[in-house]
């Protein structure tokens, strides 16, 4: 059956709730209303108040309650209405959930779903990519699927995982992409990248919505005879360093791409990973294409200038190819 | 003669106040109707649109009672705070259309705007995060010996956040000159009051922080202004914070994309009979402060003013992408 990205997340949640009675949903307006983006539309009807918990506007309570319930053996899936408001739950996630296992051996099997990303004229508070706030917190897992297939497979793995998982779903992909999903059940393992496109000349390493930007750049480059490989990280923490390095070993050139802002972005970690492990294979500098170091602007002219696009990637890739 | 100057002399009553109130409630209504029902649907507005239809008396009544030096932190349903302080409708349209002439120069949209020259703070989108900030502005007023107060608005749903409770408690412990105004429109997105809190009134929460609290008819601009005056006087006299819960109703969906099918239609019917503008006009006619013809003339003038403002905004340029990197920090 063909499913959009948002439908794939719904399916994953639905199947896990049917499979395991301890899985439940918690968040704002997720019940009868079905959530701000309608990810959970129909869930309340099927699973009822007990398993679809509508909360007051209280992100700290949502995250904290999810943690507390998970300590008792439940498997909560919490929704942030927008990833941006995860700031209100920061302490619970970073100071408590992330450190429970290490401090006192307690498992915190929670999932926090966070609709993130720009390109929707959301402005500074409804467009951010806050993944790196969490990627630098040991004890958390951070997932950012790019495809419908991975969105479904990864939400299922996230729910089954015995550690806290942050699930960044890109708002811009919800209804923009679709694909045929297998009829039979499947999971996608956390911590494994995938080759989204094979190529020999350079590696574009990215995640989330930027995978599509990379693929469209790769197509343009192919028309010029440059074969780019596209690596979709899928999970940011733990990072699949092996997949990154083996692609760079093959192509000898790395272009890192993310929608998140530049300083302290994923590209920094990837660059060091590459130079530490496969420096001798490199035939050029490791380069990056990212959003600039500004808040996400609202107006279309500014946001267009802010977001990385295929044109930027093609230009940088040509330069790197010639190097 | 500024709005605020006139009003503080007549203390919330009389023809002049009524006329001021009518102008600003009507202007807010017309601007928001135009944004939500026309420009948004025409694709000329970027991003989300949240309007305060039916709630206009709250921002109008309270802002008219404030002194120009008082600091305001309006919520996303309090547009009139900007109008009373003199922001032109054209700049508001420019803001919603993402134009360079908007208050945030295209950096942010809709009611996410502010201007320190006018002493209006821009919303922090994370609800209630503005509450401790308002406490801080009040702290500065006390610290600097200013004769001013801070007014901070929020919805009833926002009182569920930790920020809200921290800000209330802090302001009370420090006896800060701040007036808290809750727009209790009975819904927070799709969530009704009953699923938001287990107490019946937001005002009930005042006692927990030792803050005097009042329940106010939020659809009566006279009631709002009289209560705001009491609250402001209390805070200005150094007696600490004061909480007003203005009961009202959100006469729309949460935002322009939300049809509010979860709200029982009877509630809309019931509250439409309590429309603050209709009530204000009836009172004006009854008190002989204005005739129906005069009021109709005011309506027509406002429609014309808004027509011109829309046109002005549509002719304003979008921000130059070359300015993208400016103003993250102070420039040399
Ligand atoms: C911390 C946080 N969580 C969620 C949201 C999304 N959101 C925006 S407005 C809103 C409802 C607000 O309700 P209320 O405070 O009653 O104000 P109203 O919109 O009814 O005026 C929600 C949930 C947000 N802005 N901030
Ligand atoms: Mg409300």
| Atom number of ligand 1 nearest to Cα A87 | 1
Cis peptide before A238 (omega within 30 of 0): yes
Query: What ipTM was estimated for this complex?
Result: 0.92
Q: What is the pLDDT of residues A82-93, one digit of tens each?
A: 999 999 999 999
Q: How many CA atoms lie within 13 A of A15 on its CB side?
A: 20
Tell me what percent of the residues of chain A surpass a pLDDT of 90: 100
- Nearest residue, CB atoms, B328 vs list A33, A56, A293: A293
Residue nearest to atom 22 of ligand 1 (CA): B189
What's the confidence (pLDDT) of residue B47?
84
Q: What is the pLDDT of residues B16-37, one digit of tens each?
A: 999 999 999 999 999 999 999 9
Query: What is the distance between the alpha carbons of residues A289 and B37, in angstroms, rounded to a whole number?
Result: 40
Output the average pLDDT for chain A: 98
- Residue pair B280/B75 in contact (Cβ under 8 Å)? The answer is no
Candidates B126, B122, B124; CA nearest to B114 is B122
> Domains of chain B, with CATH numbers?
3-317 (3.40.50.970)
- Token pair 């006279």: residue: B222
pTM, two decimal places: 0.95
Which of the listed residues A29, A81, A124 should we mutate to test ligand 1's pocket, taking the one with most ligand atoms within 8 A of CB?
A: A81
Asked if residue B155 has its Cβ within 6 Å of ligand 1, the reply is yes
Q: What is the pLDDT of residues A141-176, one digit of tens each?
A: 999 999 999 999 999 999 999 999 999 999 999 999
Query: What is the distance between the alpha carbons of residues B256 and B233, in angstroms, rounded to a whole number?
Result: 37
Q: What is the pLDDT of residues B171-194, one digit of tens each?
A: 999 999 999 999 999 999 999 999
Could you tell me which CATH class the domain A2-180 is placed in? alpha beta
A299:B109 CB<8 A: yes
Q: How many CA atoms lie within 13 A of A139 on its CB side?
A: 19
Is any Cβ of chain A less than 8 angstroms from the Cβ of B277?
no
Asked if residue B167 has its Cβ within 6 Å of ligand 1, the reply is no
What's the confidence (pLDDT) of residue B46?
82
Candidates A67, A33, A68, A73; CA nearest to A52 is A33
Task: Collect all residues of chain A within an 8 Å Cβ-Cβ radius of residue B112.
Answer: 123-125, 298
* SS3 letters across chain A: CEEEHHHHHHHHHHHHHHHCCCEEEEECCCCCCCCCCCCCCCHHHHHHHHHEEECCCCHHHHHHHHHHHHHCCCEEEEECCCHHHHHHHHHHHHHHHHHHHHHHCCCCCCEEEEEECCCCCCCCCCCCCCHHHHHCCCCCEEECCCCHHHHHHHHHHHHHCCCCEEEEEEHHHCCCCEEECCCCCCCCCCCCCEEEECCCCEEEEECCCHHHHHHHHHHHHHHCCCCEEEEECCEEECCCHHHHHHHHHHHCCEEEEEEEECCCCHHHHHHHHHHHHHHHHCCCCCEEEEECCCCCCCCHHHHHHHCCCHHHHHHHHHHHHHC
Domain boundaries, chain A: 2-180, 194-322
B46:A121 CB<8 A: yes
Query: What is the distance between the alpha carbons of residues B288 and B276, in angstroms, rounded to a whole number?
Result: 18
B160:A58 CB<8 A: yes
Query: What is the distance between the alpha carbons of residues B122 and B74, in angstroms, rounded to a whole number?
Result: 8
Q: What is the pLDDT of residues A12-30, one digit of tens each?
A: 999 999 999 999 999 999 9
What's the confidence (pLDDT) of residue B2?
39
- Residue pair B155/B77 in contact (Cβ under 8 Å)? The answer is yes
Q: What is the pLDDT of residues A231-286, one digit of tens each?
A: 999 999 999 999 999 999 999 999 999 999 999 999 999 999 999 999 999 999 99
**Cα–Cα distances in Å, from A303 out to A182, A257, B93?**
36, 17, 19
B46:A29 CB<8 A: no
Angle at B220 between CA B217 and CA B226, to 5 degrees: 80
Which residues of chain B have a pLDDT value below 50?
Answer: 1-12
Asked if residue B195 has its Cβ within 6 Å of ligand 1, the reply is no
Alpha helices in chain B (DSSP H): 3-10, 15-33, 56-63, 80-84, 89-96, 130-143, 162-173, 193-196, 221-236, 265-272, 276-286, 292-314
Candidates A268, A246, A303; CA nearest to A136 is A268
Same-fold call for A2-180 versus A194-322: yes
What's the confidence (pLDDT) of residue B271?
98
Q: Which of the following CATH numbers is that of domain A194-322: 3.30.70.2860, 1.10.10.10, 3.40.50.920, 3.40.50.1820?
A: 3.40.50.920
Strand-pair partners of A116: A170
- Token pair 């023809």: residue: B15
- Which residues of A are annotated as catalytic? 126
Task: Collect all residues of chain B within an 8 Å Cβ-Cβ radius of residue A305.
Answer: 321, 324
Q: What is the pLDDT of residues B226-240, one digit of tens each?
A: 999 999 999 999 999
């Amino acid at each position: 059956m063909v499913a959009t990205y948002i439908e794939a997340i719904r399916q994953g949640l639905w199947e896990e709730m049917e499979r395991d009675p301890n899985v439940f949903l918690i968040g704002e307006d997720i019940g009868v209303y079905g959530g701000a983006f309608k990810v959970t539309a129909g869930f309340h009807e099927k699973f009822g108040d007990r398993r679809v918990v509508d909360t007051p506007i209280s992100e700290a309570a949502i995250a904290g309650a999810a943690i507390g319930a998970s300590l008792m053996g439940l498997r909560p899936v919490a929704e942030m209405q927008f990833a941006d408001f995860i700031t209100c739950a920061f302490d619970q996630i970073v100071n408590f959930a992330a450190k429970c296992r290490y401090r006192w051996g307690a498992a915190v099997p929670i999932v926090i779903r966070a609709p993130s990303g720009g390109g929707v004229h959301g402005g500074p508070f409804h467009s951010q990519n806050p993944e790196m706030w969490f990627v630098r917190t040991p004890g958390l897992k951070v997932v950012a699927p790019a495809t419908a297939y991975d969105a479904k497979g990864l939400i299922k793995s996230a729910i089954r995982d015995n550690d806290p998982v942050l699930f960044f779903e890109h708002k811009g992909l919800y209804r923009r992409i679709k694909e045929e999903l297998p009829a039979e059940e499947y999971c996608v393992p956390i911590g494994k990248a995938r080759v989204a496109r094979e190529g020999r000349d350079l590696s574009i390493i990215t995640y989330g919505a930027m995978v599509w930007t990379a693929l469209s750049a790769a197509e343009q480059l192919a028309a010029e005879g440059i074969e780019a490989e596209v690596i979709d990280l899928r999970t940011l923490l733990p990072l699949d360093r092996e997949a990154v390095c083996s692609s760079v070993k093959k192509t000898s050139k790395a272009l890192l791409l993310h929608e998140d802002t530049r300083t302290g972005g994923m590209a920094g970690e990837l660059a060091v990973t590459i130079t530490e492990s496969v420096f001798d294979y490199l035939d050029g500098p490791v380069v990056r294409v990212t959003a600039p170091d500004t808040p996400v602007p609202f107006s279309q002219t500014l946001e267009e200038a802010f977001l990385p696009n295929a044109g930027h990637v093609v230009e940088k890739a040509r330069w790197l190819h010639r190097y | 003669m500024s709005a605020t100057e006139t009003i503080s002399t007549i203390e919330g009553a009389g023809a002049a106040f009524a006329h001021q109130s009518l102008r600003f409630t009507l202007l807010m209504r017309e601007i928001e109707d135009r944004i939500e029902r026309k420009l948004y649907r025409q694709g000329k507005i970027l991003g989300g649109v949240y309007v305060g239809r039916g709630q206009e008396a709250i921002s109008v009544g309270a802002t008219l009672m404030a002194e120009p030096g008082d600091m305001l932190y309006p919520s996303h349903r309090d547009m009139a705070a900007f109008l009373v302080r003199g922001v032109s409708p054209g700049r508001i349209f420019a803001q919603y259309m993402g134009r360079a002439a908007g208050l945030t120069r295209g950096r942010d949209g809709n009611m996410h705007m502010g201007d320190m020259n006018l002493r209006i703070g821009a919303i922090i989108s994370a609800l209630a995060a503005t509450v401790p900030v308002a406490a801080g502005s009040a702290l500065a007023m006390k610290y600097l010996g200013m004769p001013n107060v801070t007014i901070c608005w929020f919805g009833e749903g926002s009182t569920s956040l930790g920020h809200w409770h921290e800000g209330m408690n802090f302001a009370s412990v420090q006896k800060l000159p701040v007036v808290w105004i809750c727009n209790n429109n009975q819904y927070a997105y799709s969530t009704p009051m009953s699923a938001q809190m287990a107490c019946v009134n937001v005002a009930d929460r005042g006692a927990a922080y030792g803050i005097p609290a009042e329940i106010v008819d939020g659809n009566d601009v006279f009631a709002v202004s009289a209560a705001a005056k009491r609250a402001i006087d209390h805070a200005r006299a150094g007696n600490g914070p004061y909480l007003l819960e203005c009961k009202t109703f959100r006469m729309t969906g949460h935002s322009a994309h939300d049809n509010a099918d979860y709200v029982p239609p009877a509630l809309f019917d019931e509250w439409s009979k309590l429309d603050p503008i209709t009530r204000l006009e009836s009172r004006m006619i009854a008190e002989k402060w204005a005739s129906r013809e005069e009021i109709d003339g005011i309506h027509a003038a406002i429609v014309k003013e808004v027509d011109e403002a829309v046109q002005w905004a549509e002719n304003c340029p979008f921000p130059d992408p070359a300015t993208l990197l400016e103003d993250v920090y102070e420039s040399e």
